[in-house]
Amino acid sequence: MNNYKHILANSGVQLDKYFFFDGELGAIYKKESTEFRLWSPIATEVKVRFYGTGSDNEPGARVLATCPMVKNEKGVWSYTAVGDLAGVYYTYLVTHPDFGERETADIYARAAGVNGNRSMVVDLSKTNPVGWDKDERILFDRPTDAIIWEVQVRDFSYDESSGVSEKHRGKFMAFTEHTTLYGKEGAPATCVDYLKELGINCVQINPFFDFGSVDEASSADQYNWGYDPKNYNLPEGSFSTNPYEGDVRIRECKEMIKALHEAGIAVVMDVVYNHTYSGVGSWFDISVPGYYYRYNKDGNWSNGSGCGNDTASEHKMYRKFMVDSIMYWAQEYHLDGFRFDLMGLHDVETMNEIRKALNTLENGEKILMYGEAWDMFTACQPGTIMANQKNMHHLPNNVAAFCDNYRDAVKGNEFEQHSCGFVQNGSRRNELFRAVRAETDFWARTPSQAVNYASCHDGRTMYDKLCVSVHPNNPQYDKRHEDIIRMNKLAAAIMFTSQGIPFVLAGEEMARTKLGEHNTYCSPSKLNRIDWNRIVEYKDLVDYYKGLIRLRKFFAPFRDHTEGTIHKGMWLFTDNPTGAGYTLEGEAFGKNRKMLLLFNGAHHQECFDLAAHGLTNWWDALVNQEEAGTEFIGEYSRVICVPPTSALILIEQDDIDF
């Protein structure tokens, strides 16, 4: 640790002032030559070493050459190798007075061998699948048009019930298959075909960059969510059919994205720039010791992330790295959006630079950007403004944050398993109304800045949380509970009619369970996997979600990205604090329509006196406790009684052709 105390004076401000370099870094490939560039201003010597394979355990493994690099005035070391080096593996040998010579992969590497320990020179044009030149992003005119379904690559198709071929289960290529339950003819659709039927138009895929917690060379059944970055600019090898060949994972990742685009589904990449898999000995640590991370005053590593280290986005060369990395993924992989893990650990200047860079692409302002804007302690430079909820006014309206108040208002405190929210017992009504307004009275300027969610990969699944909070002594997660299904439907009705960007965990709509486990980041695949049998067992819940998604798409005011719609509505409350409702008005189907939304979180009927609020006309129901969609399922007027634990959503009567 004394070494780090000694070099801290060289980090941050001094290196930024004298050695900031705005040019291209990494392996700059051309068919006739490749130039290697590494920024390491405090190194005394750097060499590039070439290998015949990605590891020493492969046939033909040997060192091809070790060549000295030359340093320029900005601290960039370079070496140009003549000839076509595509497929050649390489590392850097970096010498520092306090650490001696250490070997590192290239932090800018775009390809690597098995387990990512050796970078690889790649001809990216040869990694493009057939038709890649015609692949186009799926972009939304407004962020609130997105309906986001969060999934992990392995979870998606690991189970045999997915119908995916055995060789592709748990892999990128699973997304390219047209599948049914167990692959049986005439059975319900699964995987991507299922998502199309459900109405999902955007998937957020948990980290699929190269992460360090899974041994790609092992055939054992390993699992990790992937929030352990090792090589940021290349896909994870365990999701490919061949992790040894550096170009295979790239091609298959592009195949996945292309298949989703062909299905009309946008792809959001979950990115984790706030920490790395390890601090000591990471590629960043070896390249420039003490620079890329934050340290406490005593020289210890800052750990706001809870993962052992915090990266320093306020340092110009790490900020540049983040911008370069995002732009590379956006351009080379045609990505449609980025979700920033622990965004609150990054500074607003960096997030604004990323947004500004994306905006330079064709329709780039429509590329989604959102993240976890939690307010977390980290040892950043004094005066740094962090990208957390209280500072959202420093970010543009097309940068959004997850709304934890929405989550807790709907189903109770995430960190207290027995805590309840509105759907369990009608509590937290005031918090709920703050949430359905997309926090526009609090930290969000507009609904486009708020991502509404009741479940995600963190914490318990929706079904498990409801089970343990309502039946604490005997949750029976593997059983169907009719009361829990009603609560789940009510939560969905609130979600898809709220202002903001709707977000659901994959399988929420089929009562997905992880048997009550709240942190399954490294649990067995069998616990994390999606059990596609549940689309049959919980068909009523799936259909309810499907109908609500269809309704959200039809009624534009639900998707208003400004704060205009929600503040024009009328609020309705019952005498008891367990019932609440409001009106929305706006254009739908070419006419100015009024929608009435009534929610009852109680275990008894709640009645709303519409006439007392001047609402004397007749209403057609589109959603009740059993059905949801765009078909009329009953008519109401004056006094409307909503059954226990349910929603009733209605539209003014008129001759409307849905």
What band does 658 get if pLDDT is binned at 50, 70 and 90?
Answer: very low
Distances in whole angstroms, Cα of residue 45 to Cα of each of 38, 39, 76: 11, 12, 11
Domain 569-652 carries which CATH code? 2.60.40.1180
pLDDT level of residue 1 (50, 70, 90 thresholds) = very low
Q: Read off φ and ψ for residue 258, nearest 5 degrees.
A: -60, -40
From 210, 252, 341, 408, the catalytic residue: 341
Calpha distance 596→629 (Å, rounded)? 14
Average pLDDT, integer, range 455-476: 98
Phi, psi for residue 468 in degrees, rounded to 5? -75, -25
Pick from 320, 284, 280, 296: which is nearest to 19 by CA?
Answer: 320
Residue 8: its pLDDT value, please?
A: 54
CA 603/CA 578 separation, integer angstroms: 9
Share of the chain above pLDDT 70, in %: 97
Kindly list the domain boundaries of the chain, sorted by start residue.
Answer: 2-122, 143-558, 569-652
At residue 9, the pLDDT reads 42
The full DSSP string for 478-533 is TS--HHHHHHHHHHHHHHHHSSSEEEEETTGGGT---TT-S--TTS-HHHHS--TT
Residue 489 pLDDT exceeds 60: yes
The pLDDT of residue 94 is above 60:
yes
- Which residues does 135 contact at the CB level (< 8 Å), separation at least 6? 257, 258, 261, 334
Return the CATH number of 143-558, one of 3.40.640.10, 3.20.20.80, 3.40.50.300, 3.40.30.10: 3.20.20.80
User: Can you give the pTM of this predicted structure?
Assistant: 0.97
Question: What residue type is 291 in one-letter code?
Answer: Y
Q: Under 8 Å CB-to-CB from 131, ≥6 apart: which residues?
A: 258
- Closest by Cα among 623, 399, 620, 601 to 496: 623
Q: What is the pLDDT of residue 7?
A: 55
Same fold for the domain at 2-122 and the one at 143-558? no
106 catalytic, yes or no?
no
Give the active site residue among 216, 270, 336, 372.
372
Q: Among 650, 617, 611, which residue's Cα sits nearest to residue 632?
A: 650
The whole-angstrom separation of Cα 127 and Cα 254 is 8
Kindly state the percentage of the chain with pLDDT values over 90: 89
Identify the pLDDT of residue 566. Answer: 76
Answer for the pair 648, 632: CB distance below 8 angstroms, yes or no: no
Q: Give the pLDDT score at 576.
A: 80
Q: Reply yes or no on whether 464 is catalytic.
A: no
535: which DSSP letter? H
* Per-residue pLDDT tens digits for 590-637: 778 899 999 999 999 999 999 988 898 899 999 999 999 999 999 999
The answer to whether the CB of 203 falls within 8 A of the CB of 148 is yes
Say whether pLDDT at 384 is over 90: yes
Judge whether 230 and 210 are in contact, CB under 8 Å.
yes
- In tens, the pLDDT along 321-355 reads 999 999 999 999 999 999 999 999 999 999 999 99
Average predicted confidence (pLDDT) for the chain: 95
Write the pLDDT tens digit of every residue in 548-569.
Answer: 999 999 999 999 998 877 777 8
End-to-end Cα spacing for the chain: 67
CATH class assigned to 2-122: mainly beta
- Residue 306, SS3? coil
Checking if the pLDDT of 437 tops 50, the result is: yes
- Minimal CA–CA distance to 451: which of 406, 393, 505, 390? 406
Please answer whether residues 201 and 264 qualify as being in contact, where contact means their C-beta atoms are separated by less than 8 angstroms. Answer: yes
pLDDT score recorded for residue 2:
46
